[in-house]
A and B are shown apart, each in its own frame.
Chain A
Amino acid sequence: MYVELKNINKNFGNFKASNNVNISIEKGSLSALLGPSGSGKTTILRMIAGLEQPDSGNIFIDGEKVNDIPASKRGIGFVFQNYALFRFMSVYDNIAFGLEVQKKDKKIIKERVMELINLIGLKGLEKRYPHQLSGGQRQRVAFARALAPNPHLLLLDEPFAAIDSKVRQELRIWLKETIKKVGITSIFVTHDQDEAIEVADNIIVTNKGEVEQTGTPLEIYRNPSTLFVSRFIGQSTQFKDYSKLKGFSGKNKSGIAVIRPEFIKISSKDELQQYPNSVENGEVKSAFFRGSHLEVKVQVNDVILTGIRSLEKSTLQVGDKVDVLIYRIFAYGKDGMHIIENELLEYNEAVYI
């Protein structure tokens, strides 16, 4: 493991920013620290960089314990949320700054800076000042500046937070490609789950100072180990006492259930129903066009579930009576998460041989 945090605790006054945090990050990976505001993700990033000190616990980079090494000597590149470009220095001087600190030869500095300027696609703009650049351009300069001194770890604090949403998409793709091209181990902080899913190889979900789950985007989506993760990533509806639903009796009666839209199938009464004994009766509460599908909210018993309906099928209106088939649920109890399949479906399979 390239970066390891072991039993990290951090308090700001009475506020617990990090509570027994343990993280492992592989060399060469692009990881996301994902969580809502105040969940402690930025604190973790800053502790890795050395901008904050943990109250207890150890931080290892490439096998070496770095707790007592000052930020200026950790060999880390950091991209700040608001870029922190030196306002009175040109683009060239900003990028060259880390190399000048290392007292590199002027020729070498020039080569490296121009190499990076080409990498970030800002050739010709070396003499400009930060106030003459757009938000996206500034972000790229901040990125180049962090990379210039050849750090072995790159940290980015909400790199797209200050960017217009139009530019954000392009920049995300660009950043991912460029980081992969350079091949540097990178960790970035974000509160945007779409961003984490699109960009990162590996996601660390944080909440209230703790790590909820670590895994690839697909793993986390498919097997959210805690209730928080299931609600934070992807759409979901939650409710208690799922034993009321057909096909989910017995087993764990306590606990909370989470249903994703793709776990349910909504059919109008005159459509062919494969499992007529397993469906619930529902009433359409709302139906919104979402570009590629219809998002339908149905009321089943006293719970409102959200489902997707293909545009190929007939449109549903508010008040329509429909059949709702629930394939599976995520069930959260004291012993963690279980994926529970609809029992009746298994039973029904047996009939249609």
Chain B
Amino acid sequence: MKFIKNKQVIPGFGISVGVTLTILSLIVLIPMSSLILSTLNMGAKDFFRVVFDSRILNAYKVSFFCALIAGISNLIFGLIIAWVLVRYDFVGKKFLDSLIELPFALPTAVAGIALTNLYSDKGYIGSLLAPIGIKVSYTVIGITLAMIFVGIPFVVRTVQPVLENLDGQYEEAANVLGASRIKLFFKVILPELKPALLTGFGLSFARAIGEYGSVVFIAGNIPYKTEIAPLLIMGKLEQFDYSGATAVALVMLVFSFLTLLVINVMQSYANKFTKC
């Protein structure tokens, strides 16, 4: 550290690094390491017994598949919304644009109870769906809807800047070569958007899997049917089953990190192509 310190042009290296690392350790590193310590204390047999319990496996399944569908839905609608916001002009466009961030600004609990009410049998939308036999609240459909809600901004906001900065020359080139608008979109524009779409999907997916507040109300938490992983951790904590909670949490964490790692790798790969 001393060697690096002397080589810095701007003064204040020591104190900057010091404060940064101290706060980082106190808030992030030390608490996170407690999680790892606890799991180590558990012993392999107990760990696997908890992690592979059928109820928990079901919860993973529910979380995973609902997040996947939510992610895909956000991918499609997010792309459409980003496209419309960047390329077209219409009344209320700015208003629409400013609403996109709502899921980030709104407390998850508020979103949770609002969505539950909206889709319950007596709610505005729920009452319309009930006669057709579609039940949303307390089903996986409800969970998926809540996950879509929290993930809307991710795809829109990652795709928008890429679309805005997309050089018009690629489209002109394809146009002069005779391409139809459809061929142009799928063969020229979409590949340019792929990295951003993947990132947006990944972020939306990761967020959906870990989401608690907006999902837990609408889920109904029916064991084996609509339990999500974060809820199970909460349940175990309430029963003071700390090791159980830790085990489930660790699996979730590993999964989130892997997801983010994959996203990062895909981004780096795609960035190679855009160096010209």
Given known contacts A86-B188, A88-B191, A88-B192, A71 and B176 CB-to-CB distance under 8 angstroms: yes
Measured CB to CB, the closest approach of chain B to A338, in angstroms, equals 44
Contacting pair B177 A149 (CB below 8 A) = yes
Q: Mark A57-72, 1 if CB is under 8 A from B, else 0.
A: 0000000000000011
Measured CB to CB, the closest approach of chain B to A12, in angstroms, equals 15
A84 within 8 A of B: yes
Q: Mark B183-227, 1 if CB is under 8 A from A, else 0.
A: 100011001101000000000000000000000000000000000
Q: Nearest CB to that of B273 among chain A residues?
A: A87
**Number of interface residues, chain B, beta carbon within 8 A:** 23
Contact of B172 (CB < 8 Å), options: A51, A87, A138: A51
B238 within 8 A of A: no
Residue numbers in B under 8 Å from A98 (CB-CB): 177-178
Measured CB to CB, the closest approach of chain B to A66, in angstroms, equals 13
Q: Nearest CB to that of A80 among chain B residues?
A: B169
Contacting pair A72 B276 (CB below 8 A) = no
Residue numbers in A under 8 Å from B174 (CB-CB): 86, 97
CA distance A133 to B275 in the complex (A): 11
- List B residues 106-132 near A (Cβ within 8 Å): none
CA distance A98 to B188 in the complex (A): 13
Measured CB to CB, the closest approach of chain A to B175, in angstroms, equals 5
A180 within 8 A of B: no
CA distance A13 to B259 in the complex (A): 50
Q: How many A-B residue pairs have CB under 8 A?
A: 77
**Number of interface residues, chain A, beta carbon within 8 A:** 30
Given known contacts A84-B169, A87-B192, A72 and B175 CB-to-CB distance under 8 angstroms: yes
B173 within 8 A of A: yes
Contacting pair B272 A131 (CB below 8 A) = yes
Contacting pair B175 A138 (CB below 8 A) = no
Contact of A73 (CB < 8 Å), options: B178, B194, B273: B178
Q: List 7 tightest A-B contacts by C-beta distance, closest first.
A: A88-B191, A84-B173, A84-B169, A98-B177, A101-B178, A78-B176, A131-B275
What is the interface of chain B, defined by CB distance below 8 A to chain A?
167, 169-170, 172-180, 183, 187-188, 191-192, 194, 272-276
What is the interface of chain A, defined by CB distance below 8 A to chain B?
49-51, 71-74, 76-78, 80, 82, 84-89, 97-98, 101-102, 129-131, 133, 138, 145-146, 149
Give me 11 A-to-B residue pairs in the complex whose CB atoms sit less than 8 angstroms apart, sorted by A's number: A50-B176, A51-B172, A71-B172, A77-B176, A80-B169, A80-B172, A86-B188, A87-B191, A87-B192, A98-B178, A130-B276
- Starting from the known contacts A86-B174, A88-B194, A89-B191, 16 additional A-B residue pairs (CB-CB under 8 Å) come to A50-B176, A51-B175, A51-B176, A72-B176, A72-B177, A72-B178, A74-B176, A87-B170, A87-B191, A87-B273, A101-B179, A129-B273, A130-B276, A131-B272, A131-B276, A133-B276
